[in-house]
Amino acid sequence: MNRVLIVAAHPDDDILGCGGIMSRLRNNVKFRVVFIGEGTSCRYNEPNDSDDVEKEIKIRNAFGIEALEYLGINSYYFYNLPCGRFDQEPLIKLNKIIENEIDDFKPDTVFTHSDIDSNKDHVKVFNSVIIATRPGLGVNKVYSFEVLSSTEWGFSKAFIPNMFFELSEEDVECKSRALEKYKTEIQDPPHPRNKRGIYTLAKYRGIQSGKEYAEAFQVIREIV
């Protein structure tokens, strides 16, 4: 991997899914992170009418920038499509956002969501990535990541990884601290979105792969 595009539905999905490899590979790989949606407005009963929505979106975007820059990532874009309503957006709109980013950044590798996530925005992004990275367009590797409190809450299907990146304890700690930049998103245990959740998953994926810590992915397509 030389140029990696991470396509996330909402700010914080990138850290939860790929924060470990961003920490591990940041000195050797060029990363760009693209956020399709804003991740906030779905929490309001009347998101289009609330004076607070725009303010909260800006706050969450600021958290996203702070988290990425903590990991040394300085290439990112926020498209801020309405959270929880990707199904109301034409599929071609999402496809074109991703295709344009691929054309501009020219990644050899793309990471995105799993298609089994309980969050349907995540699934819509997965579907668009599959279309935007179809063979012949220059992206040779496509992988899906898991997002705590979404992927494991699908229940009817399990995330079954077949690629693992070994992480150091420093990488796991950096991932945890990057997530902590999202002050509005951290929850107390036993909710998984906190330091304990990050370490527990990293240790479990490490056990699966014979390492102390790891981050796990599904290979969607590799052309070698």
> What CA–CA distance (Å, rounded) separates 204 from 190?
16
Q: Do the beta carbons of residue 6 and residue 112 sit within 8 Å?
A: yes
Q: In the predicted model, what is the mean pLDDT of residues 84-105?
A: 96
- What are the pLDDT digits (tens) for 119-174? 999 999 999 999 999 998 889 999 999 999 999 999 999 999 999 999 999 999 99
Q: What pLDDT is stored for residue 47 in this prediction? A: 64
Secondary-structure breakdown of the chain: helix, strand, coil percentages, each rounded to the nearest 5: 40, 20, 40
Q: In the predicted model, what is the mean pLDDT of residues 24-41?
A: 96
pLDDT band at 44 (very low <50, low <70, confident <90, very high): confident
pLDDT higher than threshold 90 for residue 45: no
pLDDT band at 49 (very low <50, low <70, confident <90, very high): low
Question: Could you tell me how far CA 159 lies from the centroid of its own chain?
Answer: 15
Q: Do the beta carbons of residue 121 and residue 37 sit within 8 Å?
A: yes
pLDDT higher than threshold 80 for residue 50: no
pLDDT higher than threshold 90 for residue 27: yes
Mean pLDDT, the chain, integer: 95
pLDDT band at 7 (very low <50, low <70, confident <90, very high): very high
Q: In the predicted model, what is the mean pLDDT of residues 185-197?
A: 96
Lowest-confidence pick of 7-11, 87-91, 210-214: 87-91
In this prediction the pTM is 0.96
> What CA–CA distance (Å, rounded) separates 5 from 8?
10
- The highest-level CATH class for domain 3-222 is alpha beta
CA nearest 93: which of 64, 120, 144, 127? 127
Q: Give me the phi and psi of 45, to 5 degrees please.
A: -65, -35
% of the chain beyond a pLDDT of 70: 98
Q: Per-residue b/e over 49-62, b at no fewer than 16 CB within 10 Å?
A: eeeebeebbeebbe
